[in-house]
């Protein structure tokens, strides 16, 4: 196959020019701050890049590098399909994980296309607003609302269709660097619904918060999800609210311990964690106990742990 590389600063303009010549986009990465696009036309391949020396996705999981960190505020940059991304794990824990606070300020139709990823784990959690999505062999398009969550298993074809104004979601993916592959031949919805379908060793999960009870969790309450069973123990995800002003968390024997403050506030008792407000995120190293104190009654915490090895 004939392949050439074009180095340019304005990927949008270069892509538009190639598409006018009959090329189509096949690959883009990274999603949060794209610097490389691959377009094809017949037997021709063009790699557009603004960072020719940047590493390419390898398909391998990089080693996990544990770290304690707290991310407060910060700006957002334009990512794939015009969505705004705020980095919640700047170090990427050695390249193992990326977590993004994604927003679509204006709402309406999203400039997305049918695509898939080669990943070990990917979760999407709605913080505010709503988003309409569609997934391969999972029935008709549906809307996700605050507290709702999907597990996007490896290789599943999907598309973001439209959103409310001021949509906010949290996305967590392993590994951090991965491609978005366009599937030009796939049409969604497929007209099928197979809840038990296996996608790369995992099952699709649609968690609906409004249908999930609150149950006891380490002295607090949680809305549990089916992520653990669907990933064969690779991840656990829950929304936590306080019963008292202090929530104690036992050490986690796996890898990632991630928290995102959805609403309310608390004080993180670990290292120099300090006060946490809505929109703050943190990562605790594995095998370490930690706690939240001075939790306000309206505190809501997205709590994610993984055991990927």
CATH of the domain at 240: 2.60.120.10
Per-residue pLDDT, 119: 96
Burial class (CB in 10 A: 0-12, 13-18, 19+), 305: buried
Q: Are residues 84 and 188 in the same domain?
A: yes
Give the model's confidence band at 251: pLDDT under 50 very low, under 70 low, under 90 confident, else very high.
very high
In the predicted model, is pLDDT for residue 166 greater than 80? yes
- Residues 194 and 220 reside in one and the same domain: no
d(CA 147, CA 169): 10
242 in the same domain as 199: no
Q: Residue 83 has what pLDDT? A: 81
Same domain, residue pair 233 and 289 = yes
Partners of 144 in beta bridges: 131
> What pLDDT is attached to residue 80?
76
Q: What is the distance between the alpha carbons of residues 219 and 129, in angstroms, rounded to a whole number?
A: 30
Cβ within 8 Å of residue 239, ≥6 positions away = 147, 209, 222, 223, 262, 300, 301, 302, 303
What the block records as the tokens of 141 is: 């398009």
- Residue 78 scores a pLDDT above 90: no
Q: What is the mean pLDDT of residues 105-134?
A: 95
Q: Are both 150 and 83 inside the same structural domain?
A: yes
Say if CB 141 and CB 184 are below 8 A apart. no
Tens of pLDDT, residues 219-235: 999 999 999 999 999 99
Q: Please say which residue of 204, 234, 254 terminates a domain.
A: 204
Based on the domain organization, do 224 and 265 belong to the same domain? Answer: yes
**pLDDT confidence of 150, banded at 50, 70, 90?**
very high
Percent of residues, the chain, with pLDDT higher than 90 = 90
Most confident of 2-16, 76-90, 253-267: 253-267
> Residue 55 falls within a domain, yes or no?
no
Q: How confident is the model at residue 309 (pLDDT cuts 50, 70, 90)?
A: low
User: pLDDT, tens digit, for every residue of 278-294?
Assistant: 999 999 999 999 999 99
**Same domain, yes or no: 255 and 179:** no
Please, what's the b/e burial string for 131-157 (b: 16 or more CB within 10 A of its CB; e: otherwise)? bbbbbbbbeeebebebbbbbbbbeebb
Q: Does residue 59 sit within a domain?
A: no
Residue 2 pLDDT more than 80?
Answer: no
In the predicted structure, residue 1 carries a pLDDT above the cut 60: no
Contact yes or no for 156/212 (Cβ under 8 A): no
Which pLDDT value is given to residue 293? 98
The domain in which residue 44 lies consists of: 2-49
**CATH for 19:** 3.30.720
Q: How many domains does the chain have?
A: 3
């Amino acid at each position: 196959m004939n392949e050439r590389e074009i180095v340019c600063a304005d990927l949008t303009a270069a892509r538009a020019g190639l598409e006018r010549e009959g090329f189509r986009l096949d690959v883009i990465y990274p999603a949060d701050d794209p610097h490389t696009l691959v377009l094809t036309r017949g037997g021709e391949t063009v790699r557009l890049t603004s960072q020719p020396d940047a590493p390419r996705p390898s398909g391998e999981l990089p080693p996990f590098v544990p770290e304690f960190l707290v991310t407060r505020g910060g700006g957002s940059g334009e990512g794939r399909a015009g969505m705004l991304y705020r980095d919640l794990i700047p170090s990427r824990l050695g390249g193992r994980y990326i977590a993004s606070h994604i927003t679509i300020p204006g709402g309406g139709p999203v400039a997305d296309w049918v695509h898939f990823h080669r990943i070990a784990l990917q979760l999407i959690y709605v913080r505010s607003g709503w988003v309409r999505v569609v997934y391969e062999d999972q029935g008709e398009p549906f809307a996700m609302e605050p507290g709702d969550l999907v597990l996007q298993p490896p290789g599943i074809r999907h598309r973001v269709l439209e959103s409310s104004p001021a949509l906010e979601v949290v996305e967590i993916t392993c590994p951090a660097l991965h491609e978005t592959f366009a599937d030009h031949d796939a049409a969604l919805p497929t007209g099928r619904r197979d809840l038990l379908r296996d996608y790369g060793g995992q099952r699709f999960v649609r968690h609906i918060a409004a249908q999930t009870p609150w149950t006891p969790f380490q002295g607090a309450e949680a809305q549990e999800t089916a992520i653990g069973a669907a990933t064969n123990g690779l991840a656990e995800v829950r929304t936590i609210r306080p019963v008292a002003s202090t929530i104690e968390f036992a050490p986690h024997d796996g890898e990632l311990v991630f928290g995102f403050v959805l609403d309310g506030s608390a004080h993180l008792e670990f290292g120099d964690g300090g006060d946490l407000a809505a929109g703050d995120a943190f990562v605790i190293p594995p095998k370490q106990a930690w706690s939240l104190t001075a939790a306000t009654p309206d505190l809501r915490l997205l709590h994610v742990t993984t055991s990927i090895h």
